[in-house]
Amino acid sequence: MKVLLLGVDGELGWPLALKLAKAGHEVIGVDNLSTRRMAYESGTDSVFPLPSPAERVMEAKRHLDVDINFIIGDITQPGLLKDLIRKFRPDAIVHFAEQRSAPYSMKDEEHAVFTIQNNLIGTMRLVYAVKEVDPTIHIVKMGTMGEYGTPNFDIPEDIEVEAEINGKRDRILVPRKGGSWYHWSKVFDTDVLYYANQLWGLTVTDIMQGPVYGTRTSEIVHESMRTRFDIDEAWGTVVNRFCAEAVIGHPLTVYGKGGQTRGFISLEDSVTAVKLLIEHPPDQGKYRVVNQFAEVYSVRQIAEMVREAAEKVGLGKVEVHHLENPRVEKEEHHYNPTRRILPSLGFRPTRTLRDEVPYMLEDLLPYKERIERFREGIPPKTTWR
Amino acid sequence: MKVLLLGVDGELGWPLALKLAKAGHEVIGVDNLSTRRMAYESGTDSVFPLPSPAERVMEAKRHLDVDINFIIGDITQPGLLKDLIRKFRPDAIVHFAEQRSAPYSMKDEEHAVFTIQNNLIGTMRLVYAVKEVDPTIHIVKMGTMGEYGTPNFDIPEDIEVEAEINGKRDRILVPRKGGSWYHWSKVFDTDVLYYANQLWGLTVTDIMQGPVYGTRTSEIVHESMRTRFDIDEAWGTVVNRFCAEAVIGHPLTVYGKGGQTRGFISLEDSVTAVKLLIEHPPDQGKYRVVNQFAEVYSVRQIAEMVREAAEKVGLGKVEVHHLENPRVEKEEHHYNPTRRILPSLGFRPTRTLRDEVPYMLEDLLPYKERIERFREGIPPKTTWR
């Protein structure tokens, strides 16, 4: 298949590009490289130094014998997406080209406005480009389980759900409640894609994913092919941050009580699942919502697992600190999302968090000095209030 | 009270400014004059010729002896709102500064993107400005009953509602479903204000209003003080458009079956209600949702009323044409929104649609030739599909 991958330079974008290309798909990637730039604002950088886009392409050719087309461009600019679709005629468009950090979106007014504008306008440009050039293209959008907040109902794999309100029954959009401007921008994305599906019959897969962790995929066969790995308050997700903290003897930074419960998935399983969804599109004109995660843990449990693993590989005693929670979120809550679609396509997670953490520690150890340099960027400085 | 009125040059903004000023409130108005410019795109203009901003201020002084401060500026620009709030220290900020036309938002990609961006970024700037300069300021935002679509449940006057979903009960945001990019932009506005209320305790009145009709308010005592009156497909709301059509012998243009049912309110009653809501803010930190309309009619019923009135004042036989509906909307549906808050503040509508239409025809008749010129702009050209 021919896949236009928006956000090819990102943490998930690059490993997905490698996996798709290695499987024989044609990959045309687009990125404005904004995460590279934005990550510098925390005084940090990816733990694994990133090759330039041209080097990434060359290393992929050298180690995997694949050709990835890497185009530098900003999809919020008028005309860009339409031109690319006309030129390459993709079967599917994967939309990862969003500002993806909740804390970044909460820093101040300009970061909030940038997040809303960048994410929402990118998605608007996407639906119009597909509608106008080829409405049969399958749009695969990365959303987040965080769009729902922490509701008391079981999160379905559907865009609409039957509800009873004041004694009357109706089909409503599955209720969402963002926990940051970033999360709200993703809620708005979903609304835009839903409406484009209703109006014009666009075919959409909307992936609700939990936090991703890990350093390896089957295609990352050489250091030069690694994807970005962030550990700071804005860009580091919880498992990655804990592992880096353990490597430098920094206490593991649990926000609040740590009862926050999420569905986690490894990097390898995440990109494998996306590949599967691309290869198995829904029926034309259908809006498919997929809950994508492998294991459910609380932040407390993860800290405990990382602590144990770190002590086992000889990193010495690791402390767990409970910081005042900078976010406004429930620290104990119901969590039970449905999972049917990926299993029905044959997807089986191949990694567990417990097994993967030791490999992560092993991969991070050679970069201990670099992580030390980023130490100041780890503790949360952005508060939601 | 001191009121900062965003969108002072608009159809509702100007009559509200006059009513507030006449009642002794201090009014600082802001407008980027975008509706004047955008209305030209339909090849039309306000039926009543609009004085310039400076003339409006002079005429208000001359006829009502009030001083209105009219500032030309765009609230989506960084810093503007913060500067104005610091300078004027308003008690309330009325937010009417949005692109308010559904068909305009559906014209094409650029109109859609402009609508989403303008409305959402303006609201983002507003919540940050209030939070940072004075979080006690009462925000009065004009929303639309159209945010809900046409649900099967009774629309409450609340931001959250108890719902049962798959056997579990939860408090959810009242479900919304936009019927155009414009309507979605208003849904997003509501989400942004709700989240700012949750995070920072901002005090909000969110007015869900139905279509407004009419030419007169108690303060419009001279032709030079009239507010804009649009009749084209993008800017003309249904009653206003029907009246103008009757005046020039154009068939009344009902979209589809005309069973679309809405809650209507006269210009006079609309601005009176907003004034009352400003004068009676909710408790600090509260999010108050107000359903603002006076009478419920279907489009068919309105066409019938305008036809009768026109024939009675001697305009001859008026035809009613059912055009193919350019919109994607239900033409027959449930409609039963709650109304408690405005009545509890003593609000009683003073106009009925049946009584007001003859006055509208009387006011429009002297402009018959001008309406004729705009004839081409009346039939719908923008289609939702």
Residue B339: give its domain's CATH number: 3.40.50.720
Cα of B188 to nearest chain A Cα, Å: 7
Q: What pLDDT, on a 0 to 100 scale, did the predictor assign at position A42?
A: 86
3-state secondary structure of B181: helix
As a whole number of angstroms, the distance between CA B383 and CA B380 comes to 8
Q: What percent of chain B clears pLDDT 90, i.e. is strictly above it?
A: 99
* Residue in B152, B153, B199 nearest the CB of A328: B199
On chain A, the residues whose CB falls within 8 A of the CB of B166 are 153-154, 156, 161-162
- Does any domain span residue B130? yes
Cα of A322 to nearest chain B Cα, Å: 22
3-state secondary structure of A385: coil
Cα of B385 to nearest chain A Cα, Å: 6
pLDDT in tens, A200-243: 999 999 999 999 999 999 999 999 999 999 999 999 999 999 99
Q: What pLDDT, on a 0 to 100 scale, did the predictor assign at position B125?
A: 98
pLDDT in tens, B223-272: 999 999 999 999 999 999 999 999 999 999 999 999 999 999 999 999 99
Active site residue B144: yes
- Does any domain span residue A383? no
Look over chain B and give the mean of its residue pLDDT values, rounded to a whole number: 97
pTM: 0.97
Inter-residue contact B186 to B100 (CB < 8 Å):
no
Q: Which residues of chain B form beta strands (DSSP E)?
A: 2-6, 26-31, 68-72, 92-95, 138-144, 160-165, 168-173, 203-209, 212-213, 252-255, 261-266, 287-292, 295-298, 320-323
- Does any domain span residue A92? yes
Statement: residue B145 has pLDDT above 90: yes
As a whole number of angstroms, the distance between CA A353 and CA A268 comes to 12
DSSP conformation letters of B187-246: HHHHHHHHHHHHHH--EEEEEEE--EE-S--TT--SGGGPPP---STTT--HHHHHHHHH
- Does any domain span residue A382? no
pLDDT in tens, A154-191: 999 999 999 999 999 999 999 999 999 999 999 999 99
- Does any domain span residue A152? yes
Q: What pLDDT, on a 0 to 100 scale, did the predictor assign at position A385?
A: 87
Ramachandran class of A144: left when φ > 0, alpha when ψ lies in -120 to 50, beta otherwise: beta
pLDDT in tens, B306-340: 999 999 999 999 999 999 999 999 999 999 999 99
**Closest listed residue to residue A314, CA positions, set A372, A247, A370:** A247
Number of domains in chain A: 1
Ramachandran class of A34: left when φ > 0, alpha when ψ lies in -120 to 50, beta otherwise: alpha
Q: What pLDDT, on a 0 to 100 scale, did the predictor assign at position A374?
A: 95
Statement: residue B42 has pLDDT above 90: no
The domain containing residue A164 runs over which residues? 2-377
- What average pLDDT does range B355-372 have in this prediction? 97
Phi/psi of residue B207, nearest 5 degrees: -95, 120
Q: What pLDDT, on a 0 to 100 scale, did the predictor assign at position B48?
A: 98
Q: What pLDDT, on a 0 to 100 scale, did the predictor assign at position A353?
A: 97
Burial label for A36, CB within 10 Å (0-12, 13-18, 19+), is middle
Statement: residue A32 has pLDDT above 90: yes
**Token pair belonging to B302:** 């309105």
Q: What pLDDT, on a 0 to 100 scale, did the predictor assign at position A38?
A: 94
Catalytic residue numbers of A read 144, 182, 186
Lowest mean pLDDT among A49-63, A74-88, A326-340: A326-340
B85, B152, B165: best mutation site toward chain A, by most A Cβ within 10 Å? B165
Query: ipTM score of the complex?
Result: 0.96
- Contact assignment for B153 to A162 by CB distance below 8 Å: no
**Token pair belonging to B346:** 């003593």
- Contact assignment for B175 to A178 by CB distance below 8 Å: no
- What average pLDDT does range A278-292 have in this prediction? 98
* Residue in A128, A173, A178 nearest the CB of B112: A128
| DSSP bridge pairs for B165 | A163, B168
As a whole number of angstroms, the distance between CA A303 and CA A322 comes to 10
Active site residue B82: no
Look over chain A and give the mean of its residue pLDDT values, rounded to a whole number: 97
Cβ-based neighbours of A53, under 8 Å, separated by 6 or more: A9, A31, A33, A70, A72
- Contact assignment for B165 to A153 by CB distance below 8 Å: yes
- Contact assignment for A117 to B117 by CB distance below 8 Å: yes
Search chain A and give the residue with CA nearest B383: A199
- Does any domain span residue A385? no
